[in-house]
A and B are shown apart, each in its own frame.
Chain A
Amino acid sequence: MAGRRSRLELIFDILLAIQNKGGRIKPTHLMYKSNLSHKLLNMYMEELLGKELIAVEEEFHKRREMPSKIILLTDKGSMFLAEYRRMREFTDAFGL
């Protein structure tokens, strides 16, 4: 069984979930995809918004006739994902 995810792994999982959905995802879907509690996801989202790795957009919902939130992956977020992959290659190679 895999151990507890580190802070960096959690951030990677959140950003990867958004990227896998084409760079746009609903908060509820993100919660399931990243396997995090509502409280923990909000905490990490605040951090990611602060670091401009993600952005939040309001989208008008025709059927419900009210706006709903959409989370977007920014360019900085995509760059972070690429850098994280390189870091993981490095740590795997050196057995860290």
Chain B
Amino acid sequence: MYQLFFTPQWFHGYDLIFEGISLIIALLIAGYSWKVYRMSKENKYGYFAFAFLLVAFGLGLKMFTYSVLYIENLREAMATTLRPVMGGTLELADLFYRAAFFLQMLVMLGAWLLTFFISQKSRQRLHNYYEVSQMTLFVYLILLISFVSNFKYSVFYLTSAVILGLTVLNYFKNYLNTNHNRNAFLVMLSFMLILFSNITFIFVFLWESMYVVGEAFLLLGFLLLLYTYRRVTN
């Protein structure tokens, strides 16, 4: 069966819990941003809600794909469901995993890219034609990267790390622009932890345990986002 990379056996299942917690936090932030959008009718809040909804969807897709990989009963159930289409051949089973990984990477990259665009300061950017054409180019590149990453997984994490790095820089600027607002600092720190997780994932091919470190960074990043969310909404 096709796998992007090998992960420590003992950690199977724990990563699903980590991703599940992160998914709930992403949904909470998306929900609150949607509430702000409904009150203010300003598009940027709608886009932000959509970005975090995409993050949640990407994490959900990862959880689903890895559940099929880890849990034998679920794998059997999936195989029974897909047998009429796949004909039970190994190549088509591989195709299922490749398609699932492709979709997961596409959604996550799209989410991080949208977050980056929103974290840019210019308010009119999404109304300008040239910005829209730039985004079209980025969407094409994301499609390409998601496809290539199926053969070389590190390309995905490298691209995510670059986008997240630029987003962290935008949040640092926001921290400076808001007179060293503590919440803005926490948001920057959260994204920095998510960036560290993506950098760590690049090196899983060297040492499997890096996956555990990466997942821990990811969980910490989302927990810090939850802490910030609680601070600002209470």
Given contacts A90-B232, A93-B186, A95-B174, A8 and B40 within 8 Å (CB-CB): yes
Q: How far is the CB of B212 from chain A (nearest CB, A)?
A: 29
Which residues 12-39 of B have a CB within 8 angstroms of A? 32-33, 36, 39
Please name the residue on chain B nearest to A94 by beta carbon: B187
Contact among A7, A86, A87, A93 with B187 in the assembled complex (CB-CB below 8 Å)? A93
Please name the residue on chain B nearest to A86 by beta carbon: B233
Kindly list chain B residues whose C-beta atoms are within 8 Å of the C-beta of A95: 119, 121, 170-171, 173-174, 177-178, 184, 187
Binding site for B on A (CB under 8 A): 6-8, 86-87, 89-96
SS class of chain A's interface: helix, strand, loop or mixed?
A: helix
Count chain A CB atoms within 10 A of each CB in B40, B44, B170, B174 and give the residue with the most.
B40
Contact among B40, B173, B183 with A6 in the assembled complex (CB-CB below 8 Å)? B40
CB-based contact B118/A96 at 8 Å: yes
Please name the residue on chain A nearest to B173 by beta carbon: A95
Given contacts A7-B40, A8-B39, A93 and B228 within 8 Å (CB-CB): yes
Count chain B CB atoms within 10 A of each CB in A6, A86, A90 and give the residue with the most.
A90
